[in-house]
Structure 1
Amino acid sequence: MALSVFLLLILVCFSDCGGFSHPATDVEGHSGSPAGSLSIGAFNIQIFGLDKMEDEVAVANIIEILKRYDLVLIQEIRDSSETAIFDLLDQFNTAVAPRTYGISISERLGRTSSKEQYAFFYDQSIFTVLDEYTYHDNSDVFEREPYIVTFGVTGYSISEFAYLAIHSKPDDAVAELDYLVRVYDESIGNGAVPTSNWLFGGDFNADCTYVGPGDWDSISLWTDTRFSWIIDNDADSTVSVTTDCAYDRFVLSGNLDQHFVSGSSVVYDYWADMDLTEQEALDVSDHYPVEMDFN
């Protein structure tokens, strides 16, 4: 009898006192974020356009991934019709109703006939677009000019910040990343961006053959102490089993480190988390999104 009571007490303690661990559950669709925090993402959806929108399984998986975020940067939009991203937004809003997301989207960018756009999906109950700005790249440093959107935030301790989108050209990644400090200083100095609190995000191509160990001292965004890199160099944001590269990154400036939730900046492995086949994962993208939280 005494043994039975003892075992019962152990079971009760494990149930109520945290003895059994459970995976994080969705809080209004934000799978990885604690309640009360903002979930921010950056996702290179490989060659996103009309062809990808015709793949119903891939689109359903993309929508499931995007549900994780209150605000998400989407990169590598290649669509001369400029309709696919709006079709995705419509389907996404249907999936997350009654929440409603807006979009802020760049012009088509690129030196060659292969143009790309950046887009931000944002929860309209939380975020307001205060300003948007495409950097005037008079020196032609960037394959795709950075696109910077300043967001106002309602209901959180952080009131506003600018989010810079960048998809670096692989062979020019060192030069482009180095120049981002000049983009920051110029854009604040000339009033194009009204805040010094910036989140830099996107596919930096900042690893493997494009940015090696000997390159970091040549990148001002890395050496300047005003900026904090919050995705580790040993991360792997590539889907392929044959690569291990931390291409996709986040960098903070201003006082954003005071709002950053420590430990929240990770690569989201949707292949494993959503139990996809390898082909299903690759049909979504060759990149995993990176994500982080603000409080």
Structure 2
Amino acid sequence: IVSEYDIILVQEVRDTDLSAVQKLMDQLNSVSPHPYSFLVSKPLGQSTYKEQYLFIYRLDMVSVLESYYYDNSGAVFSREPFIAKVSSPYTQVEEFVLVPLHANPNNAVAEIDALYDVYTDVISQWATSDVLFLGDFNAACSYVPSSAWSAIRLRALEACEWLIPDSADTTVTLTNCAYDRIVACGSALTSAVEPSSATVNNFQEIFQLQYKDALAVSDHFPVEVTLKAR
């Protein structure tokens, strides 16, 4: 699954010594004809339970230029975004920013709304509005009911396109919820999205896995999007 992508965000990583990450990278690089590297955050969380954001990317396709942690002094986020600016010589939009979020399901509405503040922060930090928000926002079902969307500023922003629809099912389990999202913001980035390319990677169907075997991979399906080549 990982080798299908030029860059992929992995969430719920709990690997402070990076032994599991290194094992994954070794396996990936042993089977892929293309070299992969990674960028990982420090353990993030408001309690003793912490998670890391992990970006894995193809070295021949993507370069990581800069990264920073969003200032979470207001403790809005359970795990503050670890923000990365990347570039690729092969996409129409040469540089763009990745903002990952794994929202606390019990605070999902407030965290998703606060991504608006992250967006304005990225614009002031790096003078770019081309930002891709991605991750498990828990943005559906009981965590974000349809009545809550009107209070979420990023949803109403004309500069942004929500590429994974509310009707999607990103869960391997029997629930039908669009928890995982990709949101493209900024004129250069939104115009560089390949039309109809945003989708859910249902690896259970693709590999014809039994339910228990699919769950052993993940309880969420990856969501994906393709950017236009230049």
The TM-score with structure 1 as length reference comes to 0.75
Q: Which secondary structure state, in structure 1, belongs to the residue aligned with residue 167 of structure 2?
A: coil
2:155 is matched with 222
Identity %: 39
1:202 is matched with 135
CA-atom RMSD, angstroms?
1.0
1:84 is matched with 20
One-letter amino acid of the structure 2 residue matched with residue 196 of structure 1: S
C-alpha distance after superposition, 1:204-246 (max 9, x if no partner):
10000100011000100111212110101000000012x0000
Note the C-alpha offset of 1:194.
4.5
**Structure 1: how far apart are the matches of 2:55 and 2:14?**
15
Residue 8 of structure 2 corresponds to residue 68 of structure 1: no
1:283 is matched with 216
**Structure 2: how far apart are the matches of 1:276 and 1:198?**
34
One-letter amino acid of the structure 1 residue matched with residue 148 of structure 2: D
Aligned residue-pair number: 227
Residue 29 of structure 2 corresponds to residue 96 of structure 1: no
**Structure 2: how far apart are the matches of 1:168 and 1:263?**
26
Query: Structure 2 vs 1, CA of residues 194 and 125 (structure 1 numbering), >3 Å: closer, same or farther?
Result: farther
1:113 is matched with 48
CA contact (8 A) 2:103 2:138 kept: yes
CA contact (8 A) 2:7 2:58 kept: yes
C-alpha distance after superposition, 1:232-274 (max 9, x if no partner):
1000000012x00000000011121111011110111100101
CA contact (8 A) 2:98 2:133 kept: yes
Note the C-alpha offset of 1:115.
0.7
1:236 is matched with 169
**Structure 2: how far apart are the matches of 1:104 and 1:224?**
29
- Name which of 204, 210, 213 aligns with 2:146: 213
Note the C-alpha offset of 1:175.
0.2
CA contact (8 A) 1:229 1:250 kept: yes
**Structure 1: how far apart are the matches of 2:70 and 2:217?**
29
List aligned pairs for 1:35-46, cutoff 5 A: none
Note the C-alpha offset of 1:103.
0.5
Residue 183 of structure 2 corresponds to residue 251 of structure 1: yes
Question: Which structure 2 residue ranges, 5 or more long, are not aligned?
Answer: none
C-alpha distance after superposition, 1:132-191 (max 9, x if no partner):
1110111110000011111011133221100111000001000001011111102321x2
CA contact (8 A) 1:145 1:166 kept: yes
CA contact (8 A) 1:78 1:114 kept: no
Note the C-alpha offset of 1:80.
3.6
CA contact (8 A) 1:116 1:144 kept: yes
**Structure 1: how far apart are the matches of 2:197 and 2:7?**
15
1:153 is matched with 88
1:164 is matched with 99
Q: Which secondary structure state, in structure 1, belongs to the residue aligned with residue 225 of structure 2?
A: strand
**Structure 1: how far apart are the matches of 2:98 and 2:78?**
19
Greater radius of gyration (CA): 1
CA contact (8 A) 1:177 1:204 kept: yes
Residue 196 of structure 2 corresponds to residue 263 of structure 1: yes
The structure 1 segments of at least 4 consecutive aligned residues displaced by more than 3 Å after TM superposition are none
One-letter amino acid of the structure 1 residue matched with residue 189 of structure 2: L
Question: Which structure 1 residue ranges, 5 or more long, are not aligned?
Answer: 1-64
Note the C-alpha offset of 1:81.
3.1
